[in-house]
Amino acid sequence: MDRKNECPNPKCGKETPAWQSSGMSDSCPHFFCDTCSNVIHREQDHALLYENEINQELLDRIAATLPDCPCGGRFVPGANPKCPSCKTEYVHQWDAVKRLNVPFMPILDGSCLIRDRLYSYEVCIGSKPKYWWRLFTNALTSLGKGRS
C-alpha cells in the first residue's frame, strides 16, 4: 500500500512517500535502524514467534542477534522510521514487545528492506526519472569504490 507520511515535527512537516506491507505478508517481527529508516525482517526471528511466548525475554533474545545496519547504525527494538529531512521519528503507539507480531511494515522511500532469505532491496517510490537517476548515481558510486 502506497501512502505519504507527513513529518511529525511541525517545523519540518515534509511528506515522504512510503510503502506498507499488508497484514497478509506476515512481515513480523521487523526492526528499524536506530540511525536511518532501513528495516530488517529475518525468517529466523519469524520462526521464533511460533515456537515461543511473545514477551520481553523473547525480544531480548532476538535483539542480541540483530546486526549492524549498512549505514553504520544498528537494528534495535523500538526504533522507528525517520523523516529523511529532519530525522524526527514517526513514533509507533505500541511498545517493542507488542510490536513483535505486527505484520504491517512501513518502508520509506529510499530506505532498504534487509532480509536473511530471498533478496534485500531499496524502496523507490515516485517517478521513473527519479528511479533512473538513483540507479545512475548508485552505479557511479560503486565504480568509485573500486578505484584506488
Helices (H) and strands (E) in the chain, counts: 3, 8
Percent with pLDDT over 70 in the chain = 88
Q: How far apart are CA 144 and CA 28, in angstroms?
A: 37
What are the residues facing 3 on neighbouring strands?
Answer: 18
Strand spans (E) along 8-64 = 15-20, 30-33, 39-41
- Predicted confidence at residue 20, as pLDDT, reads 78
Rg of the Cα atoms in the chain: 16
Q: Which residues of the chain have pLDDT under 50?
A: 1, 148
- Predicted confidence at residue 145, as pLDDT, reads 59
Q: How far apart are CA 42 and CA 10, in angstroms?
A: 34
Report how many domains make up the chain: 1
For the segment 50-74, what is each residue's pLDDT rounded down to a tens digit? 899 999 999 999 999 999 999 999 9
- Predicted confidence at residue 124, as pLDDT, reads 73
Cell numbers 535483539: residue: 63
Cβ within 8 Å of residue 121, ≥6 positions away: 112, 113
- Predicted confidence at residue 22, as pLDDT, reads 67
Q: What is the DSSP letter of 68?
A: B
Domain of 132?
Answer: 2-145
Q: How far apart are CA 78 and CA 108, in angstroms?
A: 17
Nearest CA to 48 among 69, 65, 33, 36? 65
For the segment 104-120, what is each residue's pLDDT rounded down to a tens digit? 888 898 899 999 887 78
Q: How far apart are CA 32 and CA 106, in angstroms?
A: 10
- Predicted confidence at residue 1, as pLDDT, reads 46
- Predicted confidence at residue 23, as pLDDT, reads 61
